[in-house]
């Protein structure tokens, strides 16, 4: 285990690229104790090459309901896991592009179904590539698994717009992880084109601007605990005991910060607002700060 992992609140939640390399065979064995899942922003990336024996979970086509803006239900989750060789007892190791935005998001969605045996590969795909580790094109053929899903419970890790509107008036930490330009509501688009799907720019009143990349080192891996404490607790006065809500544009970057606060820093009550700015910035009458 890497030294810095020992300091995190949950020292088991991260694995190194070397650990993944050492377990490549386990990700495709019949027992199915471990499975490796790649989740990306770029839909072509997994299909171009991926870590041997990794399967893909795509946030759009696999995790989202195709009609309602919501996540899949228990039955769909069971089918997805079964197809990917994941059983109720499998430890799922996630990794992906964009410094693990989408893999943190997939890991977060797994928490809606109470699948707690999860890990994230520190540094994501970019670190693996920079270390010149093996990538292959072959998609593994894994044995179908049996998955019995728990009842989906959104209450532990997810909030909705009414919770956010209520949070503005309470002592709840709101963390906006988008870029400072997005936080300030500056126009980021070509005139005549929608501003990232929201009619209004700015941020939720009282939100702290802590861009997601604040938690990342140059090689793509997470910063050590003392640096994370400095950013989130000292500079932004967030406390582990305080309820905290993270948000971004659609909930992916904020899943990344949710991961940092929950697992690395040990915040006791941190939830992700996946409606994020594409919902809040379109809400009629919602208060906005710039």
| Site of interaction with another protein (CB under 8 A) | 40-45, 47-48, 60-61, 97-98, 125-126, 129, 188-190, 193, 196-197, 249-250, 278
Please tell me the chain's helix, strand, coil percentages from 3-state DSSP, rounded to the nearest 5. Answer: 35, 15, 50
81 is catalytic: no
Least Cβ distance, residue 57 to another protein (angstroms):
15
163/196 with CB nearer another protein: 196
Nearer to another protein (CB atom), residue 1 or residue 199: 199
Contact 221, 250 (CB under 8 A): no
**Among residues 238 and 248, whose Cβ is nearest to another protein?**
248
CB of 31 or CB of 47, closer to another protein: 47
CB of 167 to another protein, least distance (A): 25
Token pair for residue 192?
Answer: 């005549």
Angle of CA points 188, 58, 177, to nearest 5°: 35
Q: 198, 210, 248, 264: which is the annotated catalytic residue?
A: 248
Rounded Cα distance between 165 and 37, Å, is: 35
| DSSP sequence for 186-251 | ---S-TTS-BTTBSS-SB-TT-EE--GGGGB-TTSSBPPHHHHHIIIIIIT---TTS-EEEE-SSS
Q: Which residues are catalytic?
A: 248
């Amino acid at each position: 285990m890497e030294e810095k992992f020992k300091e995190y609140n949950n020292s088991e939640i991260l694995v190194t690229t070397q650990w993944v390399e050492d377990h490549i065979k386990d990700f495709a064995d019949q027992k199915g104790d471990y499975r490796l899942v790649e989740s990306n922003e770029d839909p072509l990336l997994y299909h171009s090459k991926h870590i041997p024996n990794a399967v893909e979970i795509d946030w759009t086509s696999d995790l989202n309901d195709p009609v309602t803006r919501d996540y899949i239900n228990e039955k769909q989750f069971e089918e997805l896991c079964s197809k990917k060789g994941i059983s109720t007892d499998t430890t799922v190791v996630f990794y992906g592009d964009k410094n693990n935005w989408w893999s943190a998001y997939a890991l977060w969605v797994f928490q809606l179904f109470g699948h707690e045996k999860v890990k994230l590969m520190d540094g994501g795909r970019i670190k693996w590539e920079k270390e010149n580790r093996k990538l292959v094109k072959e998609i593994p053929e894994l044995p179908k698994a049996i998955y019995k899903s728990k009842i989906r419970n959104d209450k532990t890790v997810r909030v909705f717009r009414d919770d956010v509107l209520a949070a503005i008036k309470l002592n709840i930490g709101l963390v906006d992880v988008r870029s400072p330009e997005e936080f300030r509501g500056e126009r980021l688009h070509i005139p005549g084109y929608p501003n990232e799907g929201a009619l209004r720019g700015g941020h939720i009143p009282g939100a702290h601007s802590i861009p997601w990349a604040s938690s990342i080192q140059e090689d793509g891996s997470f910063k050590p605990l003392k640096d994370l404490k400095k950013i989130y607790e000292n500079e932004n006065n967030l406390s582990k005991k305080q309820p905290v809500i993270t948000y971004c544009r659609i909930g992916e970057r904020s899943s990344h910060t949710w991961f940092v606060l929950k697992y690395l820093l040990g915040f006791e009550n941190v939830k992700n607002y996946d409606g994020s700015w594409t919902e809040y910035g379109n809400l009629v009458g919602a208060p906005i700060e710039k």
